[in-house]
Structure 1
Amino acid sequence: MPEILPLTKHDTPTISSLARKIWLRQYQNILSIEQINYMLAQRYCPMLIQSQLVDEKIWWKKLVLDNTIIGFSCCVLTAVPGELKIDKLYICHNHHRQGYGKMLIEDAVSTLYNAACNKLILTVNKQNYTAIHAYQRYGFGVVGDSVVDIGGGFFMNDYLMTMIP
């Protein structure tokens, strides 16, 4: 039976490695390898994740099946009062379509309530059709565009999606 548990500092190398594996498969036809490497270094360095684990406004979770981390999520409070953002939500490809994404979304909704928030947002690459459709099934709707210069000559070209549980 899968479990969603808080991430620990000992998990951060595994999360970094898992993110690389997932991103190389998921984004290979969407982003350049240079942008993938840039974004992985920018977001998944074990030391960075460890520093976020002590931040009261950030919740890292791991999805564990048979003592193996098969996915993860990260939620952050935004600057908008009452708003929580799913900043990261990834599951190994060989575990897709088994209800694990729904579990992580439901966990994010629990985090939302525990943080006294009332609005859940996320951004998703406009070409990540599988994820867009999954989020729509979970009750998210597209509310706008999010085009962000992330440095290094790279941009994120995403949809902003929201859910009000």
Structure 2
Amino acid sequence: MLSIVSAQPEDAEAIAEMALDIWRRHYYPDVLTQDEIEHFWNRMYRPEAIRSEMERGVVYERIVLDGEMVGFLAYHHHLEQMRMRLNKLYLLPQFHGRGYGASALAHVKAVAARLGAREIYLYVFRKNDRAVRAYLRAGFVIVRAEIAEGGDGFYYDDYVMCCTLD
């Protein structure tokens, strides 16, 4: 049975390890180079970075199947803007295509609606075709393409996607 449970600061190491595993198995070589994976993981997914985000109000949740963590997600509600940012949504590759990502997105939409958000937005690597297709199926639309400086000569090459809530 699939469940989504709150992550705590002590879960940061497991989340960081899972993120690196997923990035290495799913992103290389079609989405990111090894150097890009190392750079962006170090910037965004070190356990210290995850704990820091938690302290700043980013909610992390673990996606659990039959007692085993198979993915995670993170979001931040912007109350004043009536928006929610879906910061992260990851599933181990062997669990893709089973509807678990769609269930996680439905959960995020329900949380956003409960908090009074009118829309959810996210950034996704443009080359991550599988994720882009999944978000489109879930009702997100591509708002724009955006290239942003990511430090040390690396760049984010993303789509900004948005889903309006009813």
TM-score (norm 2): 0.92
| Corresponding residue SS for 1:151 | coil
For residue 34 of structure 1, what is the aligned residue in structure 2?
35
| Corresponding residue SS for 1:76 | strand
- What CA distance in whole angstroms lies between the structure 1 residues aligned with 2:80 and 2:38? 30
- Summarize the Cα distance change of 1:148–1:38 in structure 2 as closer, same or farther, 3 Å threshold: same
How far 1:54 moved relative to its partner? 3.2
Structure 1 unmatched ranges of 5 or more:
none
- Summarize the Cα distance change of 1:5–1:79 in structure 2 as closer, same or farther, 3 Å threshold: closer
Tell me, yes or no, if the aligned pair for 1:7 and 1:53 is still in contact at 8 Å.
Answer: no
Q: 1:114 is aligned with what amino acid?
A: R
- What CA distance in whole angstroms lies between the structure 2 residues aligned with 1:31 and 1:43? 15
For residue 25 of structure 2, what is the aligned residue in structure 1?
25
Pairs aligned (count): 164
- What CA distance in whole angstroms lies between the structure 2 residues aligned with 1:12 and 1:158? 25
How far 1:66 moved relative to its partner? 2.3
For residue 130 of structure 2, what is the aligned residue in structure 1?
130
Deviations 1:67-115 (A, max 9, x none): 2110001112359711111111000000111111011111211221233
Tell me, yes or no, if the aligned pair for 1:63 and 1:72 is still in contact at 8 Å.
Answer: yes
- What CA distance in whole angstroms lies between the structure 1 residues aligned with 2:69 and 2:96? 14
Structure 2 unmatched ranges of 5 or more:
none
Deviations 1:29-56 (A, max 9, x none): 2212111101111111112212322333
1:54 aligns with 2:55: yes
Compute the RMSD of aligned alpha carbons: 1.5
For residue 98 of structure 1, what is the aligned residue in structure 2?
98
How far 1:10 moved relative to its partner? 2.0
- What CA distance in whole angstroms lies between the structure 2 residues aligned with 1:114 and 1:37? 36
Tell me, yes or no, if the aligned pair for 2:72 and 2:91 is still in contact at 8 Å.
Answer: yes
| Corresponding residue SS for 2:81 | coil
TM-score (norm 1): 0.93
For residue 140 of structure 2, what is the aligned residue in structure 1?
140
For residue 114 of structure 1, what is the aligned residue in structure 2?
114
Runs (4+) off by over 4 Å: none
1:87 aligns with 2:83: no
- What CA distance in whole angstroms lies between the structure 1 residues aligned with 2:36 and 2:78? 25
Q: 1:40 is aligned with what amino acid?
A: W
- What CA distance in whole angstroms lies between the structure 2 residues aligned with 1:146 and 1:84? 19
